[in-house]
Chains A and B, each alone.
Chain A
Amino acid sequence: MSEEVVLLDFWPSPFGMRVRIALAEKGIQYEYQEEDLRNKSDLLLKMNPIHKKIPVLIHRGKPVCESLIQVQYIDEVWHDKSPLIPSDPYQRANARFWADFVDKKIYEIGTKIWTTKGEEQAAAKKEFIESLKLLEGELGDKPYFGGDNLGYVDVALLPFYSWFYAYEKCGNFTIEEECPKLIAWAKRCLQKESVAKSLPDQEKVYGFVLQLKKAFGIE
């Protein structure tokens, strides 16, 4: 039944990585289809006509779009194994809040770090570290955001760890110095097979970022 689940994705996309981790955690067999974003497949355009973006999760021929919506969908359909979202409504709301925080803060600010210079970059670095520190606060003494096991917020945030090296090189700073707890958390997560096989190598991501900078004429 491996054709039942198809993931249209792009290897460096942190949003795609979220879905890969969720599928791996649940042990779901699926077909991975790498998209060339300069030449989008007919399937992608058909399955996500509104945004024309990856990742797209196709289950029994029906598409689900938007990474956090996909992770929730996966959790609801394959609910008997490795639950990602808590069952208590207040804890669920808390998990959704922090996953949404990652969406609002980490990606956009991270992007500013590698696409800007000078004052704008300095401001982005500052806000980035502040956001990570807030996340460290939420993590507290727990091994994972989800408690004893990987949860929704872990899945939402982990992909960005694969981009940290690129941010550090472009921004000329060290994240571990400011947020050691978060780096420890990421390394802990990487010990899990579901995470290790879903995240690309940090150097590879940095190489990709350098290519993008060249292509867009960003110094």
Chain B
Amino acid sequence: MKVECAKTMAAEEVKLLKTWSSLFGLRVVWALKLKGIQYDAIDEDLSNKSALLLQHNPVYKKIPVLVHNGKPISESLVILEYIDETWKQNPILPEDPLEKARERFWAKFNDEKLLPSIWGAFTKEGKEREEAIAAAVENLKLVEEELKGKKFFGGEKIGLADVAFGWLAYLICVFDEVTGFKIVNERYPLLLAWMQEFSQLPIAKDNCPPHDKLVIKFQALYEKHHPAK
């Protein structure tokens, strides 16, 4: 009996290397919580990376890293698909290949277009900042279009794209507070409604980093990028 129990417990060992504030790590938390998977969270100090992190992600040395039964997986979108294929309950990707392609397209759009443009608007100065804001406005318009007639990017339930965009629901207000500039404003009513819906989901409500702590962190980052003259 004891051996059987030990076997069952060892059969599913899930560790997540992340940080308390990383939005990429948080995506993985949401997916694990959505599927009810038990895991050990290890918060890294990126100024002093653990031997475990360096061993498990030698290529990028970055978080998040999911370690499943000793085997590491890196890159948040790769991790999300791995989780979805390994634990079948509450799927975040549909069966239909065309719908899957659409979810992947929008998740990629967030990571390669929307997020970098908003980050640029936050960190850059002068002309570069103007260009970043213009790009962000264009990108937000496209995202708003995609939400027409839908509750979530995934339709009635959240999917991969929602998880990828999810950072907007809790982090954009932090940027607003720090910069005094509201980038996701009334021009995007569908997106604002989606942010509300997403933030009310149990996975988001119970698992976002504390707002005040985020404000302190991003205030410091903002000052670093915009030194007082």
Interface residues of A (CB under 8 A from B): 50, 59, 62, 64-66, 69-70, 72-73, 76-77, 89-90, 92-94, 96-97, 100-101, 134
Per the bound structure, the CA–CA distance linking A50 and B86 in Å amounts to 32
Docked pose: A32 CA to B74 CA in angstroms: 36
Residues of B within 8 A of A72 (CB): 100-101, 104
Q: Measured between alpha carbons, how far is A218 from B74 in the docked complex, in Å?
A: 37
Residues of B within 8 A of A89 (CB): 82, 85-86
A-B pairs with lowest CB-CB distance, top 10: A76-B97, A93-B82, A89-B85, A96-B78, A93-B73, A64-B101, A73-B101, A69-B104, A89-B86, A77-B97
Bound: A96/B98 CA distance, A: 18
Residue in B closest to A95 when the chains form the complex, CB atoms: B78
CB pair A69–B101 under 8 Å, yes or no, is yes
B108 partner residues in chain A, CB cutoff 8 A: 66, 69
* Contact in complex: B59, A134 (CB < 8 Å): yes
How far in angstroms is the closest Cβ of chain A from B93?
11
Supplied contacts A76-B100, A101-B59, 10 more A-B pairs, CB within 8 Å: A62-B98, A64-B105, A72-B100, A72-B101, A73-B97, A89-B82, A89-B86, A92-B85, A96-B75, A96-B81
Across-interface contacts of A65 in B (CB, < 8 A): 105
A57 to chain B minimum Cβ distance, whole angstroms, is 9
B62-95 interface mask toward A, CB cutoff 8 Å, 1 = contact, 0 = none? 0000001001011101110110011000000000
Q: Once the chains bind, are A93 and B81 in contact (CB under 8 Å)? A: yes
- Measured CB to CB, the closest approach of chain A to B159, in angstroms, equals 14
In angstroms, Cα B68 to Cα A69, docked, is 25
Q: Measured between alpha carbons, how far is A96 from B75 in the docked complex, in Å?
A: 9
A21 CB to nearest B CB, Å: 18
Q: At the interface, yes or no: B220 with Cβ under 8 Å from chain A?
A: no
In the complex, A72→B142 CA distance in Å?
24
Which residue of chain B has the shortest Cβ distance to A75 in the bound complex? B97
B109 within 8 A of A: yes
Give Cα distance in the complex from A96 to B71, angstroms.
15
Q: Which residue of A lies closest to B143 (CB)?
A: A50
B contact residues around A62 at 8 Å (CB): 98
- A90 CB contacts on chain B under 8 angstroms: 68, 71, 73, 82
**Contact A50:B109 (CB < 8 A) given known A92-B85, A97-B73:** yes
Query: Are B78 and A97 closer than 8 Å at their CB atoms?
Result: yes
Residues of A contacting B100 in the complex (Cβ-Cβ under 8 angstroms): 72-73, 76
Expressed in whole angstroms, the Cα–Cα distance for A94 and B78 within the complex equals 8
A182 to B124, CA, bound (A): 39
A–B Cβ pairs within 8 angstroms, 7 of them: A50-B142, A66-B104, A72-B101, A76-B97, A76-B100, A97-B74, A97-B78
In the bound complex, CA of A69 to CA of B97 (Å): 10
Contacts A89-B85, A92-B81, A97-B78 given: A64-B59 contact, CB under 8 Å?
no
Closest to A90 in B: B71
Closest to A100 in B: B75
Evaluate contact between B97 and A97: CB separation under 8 angstroms. no
Residue in B closest to A101 when the chains form the complex, CB atoms:
B59
Residues from chain B with Cβ under 8 Å of A73 in the complex: 97-98, 100-101
